[in-house]
Amino acid sequence: MTRIATVTAHPVSVPLQHVLWTAHEELKTSSMVVVEVVTDGGLTGYGEVKGSPLKVICDWVAKFGEIVRGMDALEHVAVWERLFSLTCPRPGGIAPTDGLPPPLARNERPQIMAAIGGIDIALWDIKGKHAGMPVWKLLGGTNRPLFTYATGGYYRPGAPDGVYGEELAGFVAAGFRAVKLKTGAGTPADEARRVRVVREAIGAGVSLMLDMNAPYDLDGCIEFARRVEPLDIFWLEEPLHWYLQPADFVRLAAATPIPLAHGEREWTRFTMRDFIASGAIRYAQFDGTRHAGFTEALRVAALAEQHGVMISPHTAPEIHGHLVAALPRCAFAVESHGDANRDPLSHHLFEGGPEVRGSHVHLGDRPGFGIELNREFAKKYRA
């Protein structure tokens, strides 16, 4: 009894204690859509969507729930392909004569791909629960400690550089051996000074990643990279403007020895294919909770392994950790938020889930993704 009976979206948004910034985005809340899929046999699976606007994503989840009702929840590829097919023209689609909606609006494709992803993740949770095993084991992996790093250093307007050094040094004191700093909001010279302050604060034995959120054109990024090269930088993440393509990343990779990481903003395996095949990036950061789900993340990971690219999925260790555990040949790490004030959802929205001890994530043996919705918390912060 594994037919999809209901699909429900739970929008959750928690106000942050302080307004924070990346290089281009103001953050006032920590938000997520939890997708709950229930089968006719009573199995419940949970998926996550990190995107916006929450209402638009929830509307698409509701529409898609009607379309996939009655399908076998274990046939995740069939569900994924049925929903994805709605993003393109098809014979008889404009009538429509096949009982499905006409081709979906192009202007809402990010939210559409996000909704597909949330449903897909929930189906994988159901698959693991139906089999009585965690997803990592379903994929043939082993329950090994997974390396993780803590992300911080979000901009606080007016704060001195020393504040960020103290914050990331606090992660190191808590046991993390790798930390990631938000960068890119200033000039290459100003940002290099800020990075130097953080490096001095955390010490020489800690890996330092830079999360740039697409701030520079090619020349500006080459200048920045050369300024920070002496500071032993582990990677430059999303270093170039959103509209620059794999060819531009190739030129950047040729200009600096610092490895490049990219992928969280890509919607499908098809655009990730071009970044991976170009040879420009060494770390693929596809995020199934933003777009397209766990099924697509698996496809991206398989391609990355074939090209000698490591996977380091963006956020959601409770989901992406299972992918990393199952692919030891090409998996580097999962991302954690060491500060519950910055990301309260990752610390409070789900019960169960992985434990972070030191610089490693421990997944556990609970079936599916091993998480259950904290319904009181979700109700309290329903958006």
DSSP 230: G
* Nearest residue to 357 via CA among 329, 317, 310: 317
Intervals of CATH 3.30.390.10 along the chain:
4-133
Tell how strand 334-336 and strand 260-262 pair up. unpaired
Confidence of residue 58 (pLDDT cuts 50, 70, 90): very high
Tokens standing for residue 86: 């709605």
pTM of the model as a whole? 0.95
pLDDT at 342: 75
Return the percentage of the chain with pLDDT > 70, whole number. 100
d(CA 248, CA 309): 18
φ, ψ dihedrals at 9, nearest 5°: -105, 135
Which tokens in the block code for residue 41?
A: 């046999």
Structural contact between residues 328 and 301, judged by C-beta atoms closer than 8 angstroms:
no
Q: For residues 127 and 68, what is the distance between their CA atoms, to the nearest angstrom? A: 16
Which residues have a Cβ under 8 Å from the Cβ of 306 and sit 6 or more positions away?
none
Sheet holding 26-39, edge to edge: 4-21, 26-39, 44-49
Residue 26 DSSP SS3: strand
> In which region does residue 217 sit, left (phi positive, over 0), alpha (psi from -120 to 50) or beta (all else)?
beta
Average pLDDT over residues 36-44: 96
Tokens of 78: 């069939």
Within 10 A of 365 (CB to CB), how many other CB atoms are there? 10
Residue 109: predicted pLDDT: 94
155 token code pair: 């901009």
CA dist 49 and 18 (Å) reads 23
Rounded CA separation 296/120 (Å): 9
Q: What is the C-alpha separation between 319 and 369, in angstroms, rounded?
A: 6
Which residues of the chain form CATH 3.20.20.120? 137-375
| CATH number assigned to the domain covering 137-375 | 3.20.20.120
Q: Which residues pair with 152 in a beta bridge?
A: 181
Choices 1.10.460.10, 3.40.50.300, 3.90.1310.10, 3.30.390.10: CATH for 4-133: 3.30.390.10
Both tokens of 378, joined, read: 């979700």
Query: What is the distance between the alpha carbons of residues 358 and 315, in angstroms, rounded to a whole number?
Result: 17
> Residue 6's pLDDT is what?
97
Tell me: pLDDT of 383 over 90: no
Which residue from 372, 370, 349, 373 is spatially nearest to 361, judged by alpha carbons? 370
Which DSSP symbol is given to 53? -
Q: How confident is the model at residue 188 (pLDDT cuts 50, 70, 90)?
A: very high
Do the strands 146-152 and 44-49 form a parallel or antiparallel pair, or are they unpaired? unpaired
Give the Cα separation of 190 and 330 in Å (integer).
35
339 φ, ψ (degrees, to nearest 5): -115, 115
pLDDT reading at 25 higher than 80: yes
The radius of gyration of the chain's CA atoms, rounded to the nearest angstrom, is 21
Top mean-pLDDT range of 102-106, 259-263, 360-364: 259-263
Residue 11: what pLDDT? 97
Tens digits of residue pLDDT in 268-317: 999 999 999 999 999 999 999 999 999 999 999 999 999 999 999 998 99
What pLDDT sits at residue 337? Answer: 80
Q: Mean pLDDT throughout 228-232?
A: 97
Q: What does 330-365 look like in DSSP terms, one character per residue?
A: TB--EEE---TTT-HHHHHTEEE--EEETTEEE--S
Closest to 167 measured CA to CA, from 267, 326, 63, 20 = 20
- What's the mean per-residue pLDDT of the chain? 94
- Give the pLDDT score at 377: 93
Model confidence band, residue 319 (pLDDT cutoffs 50, 70, 90): very high
- The pLDDT confidence band at residue 100, using thresholds 50, 70 and 90, is confident
Q: What is the pLDDT of residues 329-344, one digit of tens each?
A: 888 988 988 777 778 8
Alpha-carbon distance 99 to 113, whole Å? 21
Distance CA 169, CA 338 (A): 11
* pLDDT of 212 above 80: yes
